[in-house]
Amino acid sequence: MTPTHLNSTAPAPVSGLSERWMFRFGFFAQHGLPGFWKNSPEWVAAFKALPFGRRMTVQFNWLAALFGVFYLFAKGLWRKAVAFIALGVTYGVVATFGDTPEWVDRGVAIGLLAFCATRANVYVYEKKVLGKHTWSL
């Protein structure tokens, strides 16, 4: 028996989504998910063919940028939220003992929020459609 969070067979139909989420999920279903380090040439071509507003819809989530881990908790992605918190606490401990400058601390915090904002749509798709709910970021 396979746990449900590791079941990545056929995508499950999702209902009750807003037009924005339907567009995101449709794009991901048709072109695949963006890679962590690098995207496939097909994905990049499809992404560049979109107008700027639609690209932002696919790639960036403003609510995740503003609320960070609270947004992930609200979407039911508690494992991802805890992983982000652990990453932030780890950096905080290292920064405290390393006595890093304040501008570096702010940069890391903004970077973590930007990373959360650019991956949040992928995380929601993985959970709702693919049934994946893992600890990995």
**What pLDDT score was predicted for residue 76?**
93
Rounded Cα distance between 134 and 137, Å, is: 8
**What pLDDT score was predicted for residue 7?**
40
DSSP state of 101: -
Rounded Cα distance between 137 and 132, Å, is: 12
Q: pLDDT by residue for the chain (137 residues), tens digit each?
A: 334 334 444 455 567 788 999 999 999 999 999 988 888 888 999 999 999 999 999 999 999 999 999 999 999 999 999 999 999 999 999 999 998 999 999 999 999 999 999 999 999 999 999 988 888 88
Radius of gyration of the chain (CA): 16
Domain limits, the chain:
16-59, 61-137
DSSP state of 61: -
Taking phi over 0 as left and psi of -120 to 50 as alpha, with beta for the rest, 99 belongs to: left
